Amino acid sequence: MESYSTSELNKVIRGSNRATYDTKTIHTIIDAGFIGHVSYVFEGTPICIPMAYGKIGDKIYLHGSLKNRMLSSILENEQMSMTIMHLDGLVLARSGFHHSVNYRSVTLFGKATKVEDDKLKTEALKCVIDQMIPNRWDSLRPMTEKELNATLVIEIAIETASAKVRADGAIDEKSDLELPVWAGVIPIKQVAKAPISDQLLEDTVQIPAHVKDYYVKNKN
C-alpha cells in the first residue's frame, strides 16, 4: 500500500498543500518518535494523553495499567486516533500573520483491541522499549508473569492516517519583503544530554553500547 485512503475523517482541509497520505512518509514520522498523544472522550469532554508507543509493521502498541481510564475508553470506542508531532523550527516572517512552525506530524486512525496472548504482549512491550531507545530490551531481565499480568497492552491496526509536513522558510507577502524586519528560521531539535548513571549502580556496570549509540546519535 503506497498511501492511505482518504475520507472526511483524515482528509486535511486546512493547509492541504502540506498534507500527505504517503505510507512511507507517515511511517518515517512515526518511527522518528516514541511519544504520541492519544485522544479519548470522558463524559462528553475530549481529552488527549501523551503515551509511549511501539510499532510492528502497520500496528501500533500502547501499554498501561489495567485500570487506565484512557486505554479502557479507546477499547470501548469504535475508532481511536493518535497524533505524533516533531517540532523542527520556528518560522519567523515579516508579519505576524505568516509566522509558522516547521514540523512533521501524523494523525493515525484505527480500532484498539486488547492483546491477550502473552507472547505478542511481550513482543509489543519490547517494541515500545526499543522505540524509546533501540536495542534496550535485550539488555534487560525478562518480564515476570506478575508484571505481564499487571500490564494492559493495546494493539491498533492503522486503518488510515494523514501527515502534515512543513519544511520551508518564511513565506511573506511580496509587499512586505522590503520591510526592515528580520525573517528566517530558528531550527529546533530534541537532543540527548550525557547519560547519568543510577546512584545505586554496581561499580562493574559500564554504560552499554546501545546507550552510548543513542547519545552519540542524538546529542547534536
- Span 29-68, contacts to a copy of itself by CB under 8 A: 35, 37, 39-50, 52, 64-65, 67-68
Per CB under 8 A, the list member of 207, 213, 216, 217 interacting with a copy of itself is 207
Strand partners, 19: 164
Give just the sign of the alpha carbon dihedral 200, 205, 211, 216.
positive
Q: Which helix (H) or strand (E) holds 125?
A: helix 118-132
Instruction: CB nearer to a copy of itself: give 58 or 185.
Output: 185
Is the Cβ–Cβ distance between 191 and 217 less than 8 Å? Answer: no
Which residues does 194 contact at the CB level (< 8 Å), separation at least 6?
215, 219
Tell me the window of 16-24, 54-62, 112-120, 184-192 that interacts with a copy of itself (CB under 8 A): 184-192
Per CB under 8 A, the list member of 27, 55, 94, 121 interacting with a copy of itself is 94
Please work out the total of residues on this chain that contact a copy of itself, with binding judged by CB under 8 A. Answer: 96
Give just the sign of the alpha carbon dihedral 72, 74, 75, 77.
positive
Per CB under 8 A, the list member of 4, 21, 61, 103 interacting with a copy of itself is 103
Q: How far apart are CA 22 and CA 35, in angstroms?
A: 21
Per CB under 8 A, the list member of 32, 118, 206, 213 interacting with a copy of itself is 206
- C-alpha grid cell, residue 211: 546507550
| Residue of 4, 10, 5, 49 lying closest to 27 (CA atoms) | 4
Is the Cβ–Cβ distance between 153 and 121 less than 8 Å? Answer: yes
CB of 121 to a copy of itself, least distance (A): 11
Instruction: CB nearer to a copy of itself: give 24 or 83.
Output: 83
CB of 127 to a copy of itself, least distance (A): 11
Per CB under 8 A, the list member of 17, 119, 145, 193 interacting with a copy of itself is 193
Which DSSP category does 78 fall into?
A: S
Tell me the window of 19-27, 54-62, 89-97, 112-120 that interacts with a copy of itself (CB under 8 A): 89-97
CB of 60 to a copy of itself, least distance (A): 15
Is the Cβ–Cβ distance between 22 and 58 less than 8 Å? Answer: no
CB of 168 to a copy of itself, least distance (A): 11
Assess 75 for contact with a copy of itself (CB under 8 A).
Answer: no
